[in-house]
Chains A and B, each alone.
Chain A
Amino acid sequence: MAKRALIELIDISKKYEDTLVLDELNLTIGENEFVTLLGPSGCGKTTTLRILGGFTSPDTGKVIFDGKDITNLPPNKRHINTVFQKYSLFPHMNVEENIAFGLKISGKSQDYIKDKIKYALKLVNLDGYEKRRPSQLSGGQQQRIAIARAIVNEPRVLLLDEPLGALDLKLRQNMQYELIRLKNELGITFVYVTHDQEEALTMSDIIVVMNQGYIQQIGTPEDVYNEPENAFVADFIGDNNLFSGTMIHDELVEFAGARFACVDKDFGRMRPVDVIIRPEDIVMGEPGEGQIDGVITDVVFKGTHFEIDVTSNGFVWLVYSPKRYAMGTQVSLRVTPFNIQIMNKPESDDEKVAEPDE
């Protein structure tokens, strides 16, 4: 698993006017990894990407690429290429000319360029589109050309800034698989920026969850989903029940007006904590069967399951159930100790959870 570090961001800080966008950020990206920077808008993920690409220079800190300091290297001198959010194809050039742009600048031969264009168009499934103008392509096609234009230069790292943001759902899902395939075929590092948690979970090797200029958690998709390190990550990734609670003592926590057994230890006695429970981990039963009782106050059909609100002691629980319940039904809820995730409350202002805007 331990891959060689290709990019290191060391103590990167960046201010725009009076807002601190990045605060002493440290991040190491390994070779041949698919790393996703995930977070709400304004969390600093795009700024991080722009610093990697060389479009923005950090106020402090260093960018190390393959052992060399490239902090002040302009974008045209970096072995890094970018796929922009709005595709940014050159509108006055056709597909072929767009793809050839970088190759011509680096002085490649006509034959080489021709081969590369063919190869790249095949790779993105658009062979035969050489003479089209960007305005004659759909959004998805434009995006694929943008990717082709970047990869023909054989960059060590491909930066992608919410490249699928403008596409509709179906196309987005297809493109996700294409990107994974591309990454495997090309064997280069992908750094991907998105605010879409599903996208991040589907594609990434490593997810870097960011908020307000800080990295909240770095981990595999499974880690980030199953073991969020703090309430922000838990809240941002997936639907969750987030309660404020108190750790009574080891393996016992109180929240939502009741006491629950849990598996966590070493928080101390009577400590304020955040408690997270995934809606799919809650089991509904007849009243009295579970740990607490409640009444069903909302039912929404979601295709694969029902999203059900259960109100109990004035708290609303979100529960996924395969079975339809009628509004007003009395039910009980049960959670196994293993599925109760407990986290320390943020201690300083810095770690405070911002409301994600999605």
Chain B
Amino acid sequence: MSNLFARREQSRSVERHNSPRHPWLAGPYIFWAAGFIVLPLVLVFYYGLSGPDGTFTLANLAAIAQPIFRNALGQSLLISFGTTAICLVLAYPLAYILSKNRSRSGAFIIILIVLPMWINFLLRILAVQMLIANNGIINMILGHLGLAQMRLINTRAAIFLGTAYDYFPFMVLPIYNAMCKIDHDIIEAAHDLGANALTTFRRIIVPLSLPGVISGIIMVFIPSISEFAIADILGGSRILLFGNVIEQEFNMSNDWHTGSGLSLILMVFIIISMIVMHRVDKDGEGQIIW
């Protein structure tokens, strides 16, 4: 009897809800998602896996073997790994410092760090361009000091600078959030058990901030591997990134099939990177976004 009761209780608790029971309210979005998320991707797959005559082919994927595409992919990987590393190295100490005392000032500094993100990203790149152009501010200052001019624009370093500058806040925020979630009691518990500041950092703070680090890496790595506008502006046309060649396939060569094939390759890299991240984050405690 009591068993029966318990089961009734349980099924009741499953039924508990906090809003009207109307699954159809999701209807418009389901249509939207089908039409504008799934269908476009299906098209990418269709074009990517078919030739101009509409027959199935893997030639568009195999195009990656061509030197121009292969080099571009290599450049992109270099840029995205480099950018991610630069951002991580700069952002981690900053997030740690800011999270250490969770005062209002810390929160406000975070707002100020995120603030440039609200400026159109091309305007930010424009600002970087003004600084490093051949006749830009840095060279002007160097000139006034009587020093040799530096050639910064149209180099790989310029692209690194631009992407790192652009995506830096994406790295700071999730790490900062993860660190703020670490209960202060846990840090005190570590001290209590004899850990000094360094041990506490190494054994407690680093592992517990890992989910944030992973979110940060994904949020910097993915946009920077597919970047093309920054390379266009700061790298001139000297350095072709993977994003550039995909864009050119569509907008200049009008070759939707090769363009889609290369897009599929890009997606493979994105999927691989996410799988790797999930492996590292083995407890599944990390959230992917924020």
Contact = CB atoms under 8 A, between A and B. Distances in A.
Whether A and B touch (Cβ < 8 Å) is answered with: yes
A53 B195 contact: no
A278 to B, nearest CB: 39
B277 to A, nearest CB: 17
26 contacts: A55-B191, A55-B192, A75-B191, A76-B193, A76-B194, A76-B195, A80-B192, A81-B192, A82-B188, A82-B192, A84-B188, A84-B189, A85-B185, A88-B185, A88-B188, A90-B186, A90-B189, A90-B190, A91-B285, A92-B283, A101-B195, A101-B203, A105-B193, A105-B194, A105-B195, A153-B193
Which 4 pairs show the lowest CB-CB distances between chains A and B? A102-B193, A88-B185, A88-B189, A75-B191
A106 interface: yes
B199 interface: yes
A147 to B, nearest CB: 12
A30 B248 CA distance: 81
Given A92-B207, A92-B208, A84 B195 contact: no
B188 to A, nearest CB: 5
A91 B192 contact: no
A14 interface: no
- The size bracket of the interface on B is 10 to 19
Interface in A67-90: 74-77, 80-82, 84-86, 88-90
A144 interface: no
Contacts of A76: 191-196
A54 B188 CA distance: 10
Given A92-B207, A92-B208, A82 B189 contact: yes
B15 interface: no
Interface string B231-243: 0000000000000
A85 B189 CA distance: 11
Interface of B: 183, 185-186, 188-196, 199, 203-204, 207-208, 283, 285
Contacts of A149: 193
A92 B186 CA distance: 11
Nearest to B208: A92
A74 B200 CA distance: 14
A82 B192 CA distance: 7
A84 B191 CA distance: 12
B204 A75 contact: no
A75 B187 CA distance: 11
Interface residues on A, range: 20 to 34
A92 B183 CA distance: 13
A38 B191 CA distance: 26
Contacts of B285: 91-92
B109 to A, nearest CB: 22
A54 B190 CA distance: 13
A84 B185 contact: yes
A199 to B, nearest CB: 21
A149 B190 CA distance: 11
A75 B196 contact: no
B185 A81 contact: no
A88 B186 contact: yes
Interface in A143-175: 149-150, 153
Interface of A: 53-55, 74-77, 80-82, 84-86, 88-92, 101-102, 105-106, 149-150, 153
Contacts of A54: 191
Contacts of B188: 53, 55, 75, 82, 84, 88
Nearest to B187: A88
A320 B199 CA distance: 57
Contacts of A89: 186, 189
Contacts of A153: 193-194
Contacts of B189: 82, 84, 88-90
Given A53-B188, A76-B194, 18 more contacts: A75-B191, A76-B191, A76-B195, A80-B192, A82-B189, A84-B188, A88-B183, A88-B185, A89-B186, A90-B189, A90-B204, A91-B186, A91-B208, A91-B285, A92-B207, A92-B283, A101-B190, A102-B193
A75 B196 CA distance: 9
A187 B194 CA distance: 21
Contacts of A55: 188, 191-192
A74 B191 contact: yes
B185 A105 contact: no
Contacts of B196: 76
A105 B208 contact: no
Contacts of A91: 186, 208, 285
A352 B183 CA distance: 36
Nearest to B189: A88
A80 B189 CA distance: 12
B202 to A, nearest CB: 11
A267 B188 CA distance: 50
Contacts of A85: 185
Most chain A Cβ neighbours within 10 Å, of B189, B195, B203: B189
The CB with the most chain A CB atoms within 10 A, among B186, B189, B192, is that of B192
B228 to A, nearest CB: 39
Contacts of B208: 90-92
Contacts of B194: 76-77, 102, 105-106, 153
Nearest to A75: B191
A345 B191 CA distance: 45
Contacts of A84: 185, 188-189
Contacts of B204: 90
A88 B194 CA distance: 15
Contacts of B192: 53, 55, 75-76, 80-82, 150
